[in-house]
Structure 1
């Protein structure tokens, strides 16, 4: 076999592994969000049996975000120190499935709080591991698309479309507690698949982490990572975008049933539209960013995301509202950009999981933990519409912060380099 043939064969093997890994991680992170979203969709049923204030509902969402954040930061740093991702990912998938089912056993707010906190510990480790593995296995031309499918479309399909349909149907037919038990078997199967098929390193490493910012050290310390402009901005954007997302996903089902007066079926239909948008924009946004650039894509789609909470407040017709949600619920596609793709193209490989865990962790602490607690308290004081306006404020701040980012998309940087070279020759 010639060198050319050997290289071609290695390329085909790497392509097959890339596609297989994409499917595995798509399902793994999708079921993470199926579990995470279940509480919001089941809140009206839990409230009828246990009784939950808006502040308590926000606290249940917030405590999961708190432990998710801490686990993500610790797991990311641990992974980079050990040079291992696969064992951490397997353990996380097994544990989040078990802890999610524990929510169905609880009979009071305190029990639910403990179960959600444990679930966050397990789930927080999944995304930094999954996106680190996916970034290294992805072709440059598909990096944004692949990472968007893993983080955005998977969560949208399983957490945004299937979750409201499945868990509301289960709650209506056999009770809300049963909905928390459905993830045990899928979680075990996915963990076994990861153990069998996922490699610690891909056949061919495709992540050229020639950082946009300095310092570009093999394994830079945490302080060096925090000096990178894009990383700092991505952390701030994560705080604001998590505020937008967590508030919307936590309070929208209750807002639609109590403020809008929708029945459970109509509510689940509108929430399914959010899931459809989640799936579509989850891969379209990062895919478009591969071509037009990360920064302009983030600004453009954040402007659309700003409209979504206002539509929830001011549009009454459920059909029109569902259509507007599909058009404006674009933020989940942006998550991949600031939580995964931009950091992956900014830091060297030795700091990748650390950077991903740090951005996710800081964002979850501020936007995932504090924001729903504050929004829940404010909603008890002034009505649930207040939560929607707080979410809109988060999206508005993202737009402002995004203007400070440095472009990282390889295709865009090459075009700029070619244009600069042509201009130099002309002079």
Structure 2
């Protein structure tokens, strides 16, 4: 007979194991997300040559993804709250792999735009569900570290140029997208199956809010100044990172006349360094700034601005 799982079975060891497995699973899932997402930057020169596209038209392939991705974030959050994290993540992982494959089969520029937009819709539904998964499976004191491990996948995205460049050279951009789609779907389903059971509310919520805090409506969330401040922060960060990730490969190939493999290596360096610093930042927040988030964010933003000015 199957044992009945009760809250009494949630020992500290099981809670820690759940958090650790969740961090690893979500790191892998986000890595797939980023590699699929950023592969277009390596393929843009080849796509532009085949379809006779200028830089503006090439940029529209990135823009249509970003706009649809942005629009889908809010309804995706509702779906994650309504249905939990597991089902939305599975559906989006499979669907974005499908549209990755269809990108490789597109016969016209219009179809490319359509498939990139649909790809953006599927990936736009993923972050909300993944943050929900972290919140359901970690205690508040470990949540910063867990989230940073998950988001450090943006550094692992640095592997995308290293993986995609040899494939583009060997089999062309169309077959490269087909290959990535198959691998992404298979790995995504496997990772989804490994996601552990969520913690009970008494463990996943802050002690002082588990009982006394009233339910907050979605309208109140959308009216919250803090929510919009974080939206602006993420917008600024993503504008910077997307600009660099999208156009650096084209610059190295066309302006510096480097080989595709050399471009892949150089494009990977910033992201791979970011992998380690993102995890370190999450640990630093949990260790020293858990109750001083404002100081932490302002300090990082100031240092970033100074470094950009010196470049």
- TM bucket (normalised to shorter chain) is 0.7 to 0.9
Q: Which residue of 1 aligns with 2:224?
A: 228
Equivalence for 2:49: 48
Matches within 5 A, 1:96-135: 96-135=96-135
Distance 1:83 1:112, change over 3 A: closer
Q: Give the drift of 1:239.
A: 2.1
* Corresponding residue number in structure 2 for 1:402: none
Whether the aligned pair in 2 keeps the contact of 1:86 and 1:200 (CA below 8 Å) is no
Where does residue 22 of structure 1 map in the other structure?
23
CA RMSD in angstroms comes to 2.6
Counterpart position of 2:73: 72
Q: Equivalent residue for 2:3?
A: none
State the partner residue of 1:94.
Answer: 94
Q: Is the CA contact 2:77–2:129 (under 8 Å) kept in the aligned structure 1?
A: yes
Residues in 2 aligned to 1:295 and 1:58: alpha-carbon distance in whole angstroms: 35
Query: How far apart in 1 are the matches of 2:192 and 2:272?
Result: 31
Q: Which residue of 2 aligns with 1:265?
A: 261
Q: 2:244 is matched with which residue: 248, 251, 270?
A: 248
3-state DSSP of counterpart to 2:72 = helix
The separation in 2 between residues aligned to 1:75 and 1:163, in whole angstroms, is 26
Question: For 2:223, what is the secondary structure of its paired residue?
Answer: coil
User: Following the alignment from structure 1 to structure 2, what is the Cα–Cα distance between the partners of residues 164 and 209?
Assistant: 44
Structure 2 length as normaliser, TM-score?
0.86
* Pairwise CA distance, 1:109: 2.1
C-alpha distance in 2 between matches for 1:260 and 1:21: 42
* SS of alignment partner, residue 300 of structure 2: helix
Does 2:172 match 1:171?
Answer: no
Aligned to 1:403: none
Distance in 1, matches of 2:309 and 2:49, equals: 28
How many angstroms does 1:43 deviate by?
1.3
Shift of 1:258: 2.9
The CA distance in 2 between the partners of 1:188 and 1:140, in whole Å, is: 31
Q: Partners of 2:236 and 2:111 in 1: how far apart?
A: 29
1:303-322 superposed matches below 5 A:
303-306=302-305
Is the counterpart of residue 34 in structure 1 residue 7 in structure 2?
no
Per the TM alignment, residue 223 of structure 1 is displaced from its structure 2 partner at its CA by 2.5
Cα shift readout 1:165-204 (whole Å, capped 9, x = no counterpart): 1111111112111221233333333443355333563257
What is the CA-CA distance between 1:285 and the residue it aligns to? 1.8
Kept in 2, the 8 Å contact 1:50–1:107? The answer is no
Instruction: Give the gaps of 5 or more residues in structure 1.
Output: 1-5, 315-427
Match of 2:14 in 1: 13
Change over 3 Å in CA distance of 1:37–1:274 after alignment to 2? same
**Is it true that 1:300 corresponds to 2:299 in the alignment?**
yes
Distance 1:22 1:287, change over 3 A: same
Deviation at 1:34, TM superposition (A): 0.6
Q: Distance in 2 between matches of 1:307 and 1:271?
A: 22
User: Structure 2 regions of 5+ residues with no counterpart?
Assistant: 1-6
Per the alignment, in what secondary structure is the counterpart of residue 66 of structure 1? helix
1:25/1:130 contact within 8 Å kept = yes
Matches within 5 A, 1:266-285: 266-285=262-281
For the 8 Å contact 2:79–2:88, the answer to whether it is kept is no
1:206 aligns with 2:204: yes
Match status 1:289 vs 2:288: no
